[in-house]
Amino acid sequence: MSALPVLGAQEERTVLAGSLEPPVPGAECVDRLVERRVRERPDAIAVRTDELALSYAELDRRAERVAARLRALGAGPGSLVATRLPRGADLVTAQFGILKSGAAYLPLDPANPPGRLAAVLAEARPLLTLTDPKNAAIPGLGQLLTLDAVLAGPEHPEPRSAAGQPDRAQPTDLAYVIYTSGSTGVPKGVMIEHRALGNLVAWHHREFGLGPDDRTALIAAPGFDASVWEIWPALAAGATLEIPDAGTVLSPWELTDWLVDRKVTCCFVPTPLVERMAEVSWPASGARRARADRRRPAARHRPPGTALPASQQLRADRGHGRGDLGTVTAAPHGREALPDIGRPIPGTEAYVLDERLRPVPVGMSGELYLGGVALARGYLGRPELTADRFVPHPFSRTPGARLYRTGDLVRRRSDGTFDFLGRNDHQLKVRGFRIEAGEIENVLRAHPGVRDAIVGVVPTAAGGSELDLTAYLVLADPAAPPDRAQLHEHVGRRLPAYMRPHDYQVLASLPLTSNGKVDRAALAGQAVPLAAPVAATAGADAQRTPLEQEISGVWAKALGHDRFGSHDNFFDIGGHSLLLATVRDILGRESGREVSVLTLFEYPTVAALARHLEAAETPPGQDVPTPARGEAADPADPADDPAAARLRRGNARLRAMRAQNRRTNPTPVGRTDT
């Protein structure tokens, strides 16, 4: 019976016709679009940070110098150049220069462990990596070139093509490669062509009405595909790209103030951050358009059907991103029914198919397959994985056309939008990141104390709708369990922070279903926490000062466990950047101490934070209290690092300037936490 067709011939033709969204007309390569804005508005501000502002003419001059140096080194269409730069003006300059050279760029997040970066570079084999002096000394990253040296060096002659002009990329050439979590245990590089990026930019302009008077924000990390959606639509529209510092991005409250201060009109905000920002009162003159990557309402405390106050009526569009496509689906403004993930953007074909690749009727569930000009070229250097996920297009007459098998289970509504029903694999979505559990499980299995591992998600200790990663371990020797700190160190050398488990649970064996598969529903019921060594924990607790005990209690509430010592790094025991805001709130509420999120980020251990707070509260001329029992200086404390000290002083000045601006701003910014 399963071989019988579900649709009649006429209904099938109707369903297939409704699966096609034509591209936005007039899409171009983004580097040419930005150059057009340079000619039109050379003196307008293109990129602004707390430290500097670059006009379109200045940005173009810097990028041309980068492009000339890269061409002299052999860059051009078909080549790949990596960037290992923090979010800022240099990152934008480098990526614009790479596109001008004709090459594609590979963004690497400096926050990722060097081991993971080295593995990515070994597979991608870029021509070179553009970086900054701070990261140029890290071994194992191949050929490095500092952006400072390029910008300070002499001009280089440009190789000329037969027509006398430098070779420029064409719509079918690669624009960038983004590495995402891989189900096989190895990250995979998604190859996106210029025509896909140009189509996305054209849709952004049409959908959001971006223009020269707009100010947009770059919030996403450099290695996250959302940064592509933030950078190029803004610059191609002649808008100003505003870039906050790291401390501002870590706090929903500081980010809200910053958006208002900078008069940002449009920004992309990831799921957990926009939910917290929705709880903050926005002035009527604040940002009016926000793009949220989420599958639920931003204000989850608000009853369905009720309207936001006038001061909070942000335009919030739910986006369901697929890095494998270089595209998103977008839900119409104001829709409340969930889990609606909207409709495909122009240039995307979207089919709901059964296991035989046949279309299913409207309202019936199936797997989402996507294609069109937005489709990625495939996975870099992974032909077997490309063949598995990018299948021959059963409905196209174009030779070689393919569809991407997303693994998302959906159903199409009668109005053309899609309901998201779940996954047909074990891919996880945590704090806006798509994570393949297999990659984390393989890293854990490589630890000598772990025989097997399964990774799942649990609700965060702070409550709400967000999830944390939990690892369920079968130990190699139950009598000699691995230390939590060892596991954190092992995982931290290989995985970025967002992929590190929040907690570790121990199983005698993996529970199985009747057909021999892992029974994931039974994991939590059979697991027990991985205990920290009793002697070490008792010794750490005994040495804690009263302030350390107070901070430790705050951490325990935020993390949902107290299995850590005074020198355990917050981010190695399950913490993440958004939890820092929770720590700040609890600390302020229970002790009255006003601590910035950036301070919590700079002092990531209980002991280091306690010493910093004691030093700040000690009157001039008195000695700073030292830890009990002659405890040695915390190796994680950056107090003796001159660079860190300069960073702290600079950030303190910036915070004071922002505070002064807010005091003199006639429009107050209300906060629910004060």
Domain assignment present for residue 312? The answer is: no
pLDDT at 1: 80
Provide mean pLDDT across the span 630-656: 43
- Degrees (nearest 5) of the Cα angle 263, 268, 269? 100
Residue 535 to residue 341: CA distance in whole angstroms: 51
Q: Is the pLDDT of residue 650 over 70?
A: no
Instruction: State how far Cα 40 lies from the chain centre.
Output: 33
pLDDT at 581: 77
Q: For 512, phi and psi rounded to 5 degrees?
A: -120, 150
Domain assignment present for residue 99? The answer is: yes
Helix spans in 251-353 (H): 252-261, 271-277
pLDDT for 36-61, tens place per residue?
A: 999 999 999 999 998 899 999 999 99
Provide mean pLDDT across the span 286-308: 37
* 489 and 433 belong to one structural domain: yes
Provide mean pLDDT across the span 398-410: 90
- Write the single-letter amino acid at 345: I
Q: Which residues pair with 375 in a beta bridge?
A: none
Top pLDDT among 41 and 434 is at 41
Residue 598 belongs to a domain with what CATH number?
A: 1.10.1200.10
pLDDT for 551-581, tens place per residue?
A: 888 888 887 777 777 877 787 676 777 677 7
pLDDT at 100: 96
Q: Is the pLDDT of residue 532 over 90?
A: no
Helix spans in 345-457 (H): 383-389, 437-445
pLDDT for 101-118, tens place per residue?
A: 999 999 998 888 887 888
Residue 533 to residue 554: CA distance in whole angstroms: 22
Nearest alpha-carbon partner for 441 in 379, 504, 384, 385 = 504
Residue 436 to residue 425: CA distance in whole angstroms: 9
- The alpha carbon dihedral of 422, 428, 433, 434 has a sign of negative
Q: Which of 287-296, 406-415, 434-443 is least confident?
A: 287-296
Nearest alpha-carbon partner for 200 in 176, 221, 228 = 228
Top pLDDT among 185 and 660 is at 185
Give the total number of structural domains in the chain: 3
Q: Is the pLDDT of residue 511 over 90?
A: no
CA dihedral 8, 14, 15, 17 (to 10 degrees): 140
pLDDT for 145-154, tens place per residue?
A: 888 888 887 6
With beta carbons less than 8 A apart as the criterion, state whether 322 and 344 touch.
no
Q: Is the pLDDT of residue 308 over 80?
A: no
pLDDT at 293: 43
Top pLDDT among 45 and 165 is at 45
pLDDT for 176-231, tens place per residue?
A: 999 987 665 578 899 999 999 999 999 989 888 889 999 999 988 888 888 998 99
* 582 and 454 belong to one structural domain: no
**Residue 338 in tokens:** 């969930």
Q: Is the pLDDT of residue 19 over 50?
A: yes
Residue 362 to residue 343: CA distance in whole angstroms: 14
Measured CA distances, 96 to 147, 192, 264, 497 (Å): 13, 16, 22, 28
Domain assignment present for residue 273? The answer is: no
Domain assignment present for residue 473? The answer is: yes
Q: Which of 305-319, 340-354, 370-384, 527-541 has the highest mean pLDDT?
A: 370-384
Block residue for tokens 């059907």: 305
Domain assignment present for residue 11? The answer is: no
Query: Does 339 sit behind a cis peptide bond, omega within 30 degrees of 0 on the bond before it?
Result: yes
* 124 and 59 belong to one structural domain: yes
Among 164, 193, 222, the domain boundary falls at 193
* 442 and 556 belong to one structural domain: no
pLDDT at 315: 42
* 182 and 72 belong to one structural domain: yes
Domain assignment present for residue 67? The answer is: yes
Residue 59 to residue 88: CA distance in whole angstroms: 12
With beta carbons less than 8 A apart as the criterion, state whether 159 and 113 touch.
no
* 596 and 455 belong to one structural domain: no
pLDDT at 342: 80
Q: Is the pLDDT of residue 669 over 50?
A: no
DSSP 284: T
Confidence band (pLDDT; 50, 70, 90) for 339?
A: low
Among 492, 509, 531, the domain boundary falls at 531
* 581 and 649 belong to one structural domain: yes
Q: Which of 349-363, 471-485, 530-544, 578-592 is least confident?
A: 530-544
pLDDT for 455-490, tens place per residue?
A: 888 876 555 556 778 889 999 888 888 887 788 888
Residue 58 to residue 60: CA distance in whole angstroms: 5
* 37 and 185 belong to one structural domain: yes
Domain assignment present for residue 351? The answer is: no
Residue 176 belongs to a domain with what CATH number?
A: 3.40.50.12780
* 462 and 558 belong to one structural domain: no
- Name the average pLDDT for the chain: 77
* 111 and 70 belong to one structural domain: yes
Helix (H) or strand (E) holding 392: strand 390-392
pLDDT for 408-421, tens place per residue?
A: 888 888 888 888 88
**Residue 599 in tokens:** 């301070």
With beta carbons less than 8 A apart as the criterion, state whether 471 and 524 touch.
no
Provide mean pLDDT across the span 598-606: 81
Provide mean pLDDT across the span 260-266: 89
Domain assignment present for residue 562? The answer is: yes
Confidence band (pLDDT; 50, 70, 90) for 134?
A: confident
pLDDT at 464: 53
Helix (H) or strand (E) holding 411: strand 402-412
- For residue 10, the number of C-alpha atoms closer than 13 Å in the C-beta half-sphere is 0
Angle in degrees, 0-180, between the axes of helices 194-208 and 30-40, rounded to the nearest 10: 50
Q: Which domain holds residue 160?
A: 31-45+52-193
pLDDT at 624: 47
Helix (H) or strand (E) holding 123: helix 114-124
* 493 and 577 belong to one structural domain: no
Among 481, 506, 531, the domain boundary falls at 531
Listing DSSP states for 469-515 in one string gives EEEEEEES-TTSPPPHHHHHHHHHTTS-GGGS-SEEEEESS--B-TT
Residue 12 to residue 33: CA distance in whole angstroms: 40
Block residue for tokens 């005990």: 549
Q: Which of 30-39, 242-251, 309-318 is least confident?
A: 309-318
Read off the pTM.
0.72
Top pLDDT among 405 and 467 is at 405
- Degrees (nearest 5) of the Cα angle 192, 195, 199? 105
Q: Which of 317-326, 348-357, 562-571, 641-650 has the highest mean pLDDT?
A: 348-357
* 446 and 523 belong to one structural domain: yes
Residue 527 belongs to a domain with what CATH number?
A: 3.30.300.30
Nearest alpha-carbon partner for 416 in 348, 497, 484, 356 = 348
Q: Is the pLDDT of residue 264 over 80?
A: yes
pLDDT at 248: 84
pLDDT at 292: 43
Q: Is the pLDDT of residue 379 over 90?
A: yes
Helix (H) or strand (E) holding 405: strand 402-412
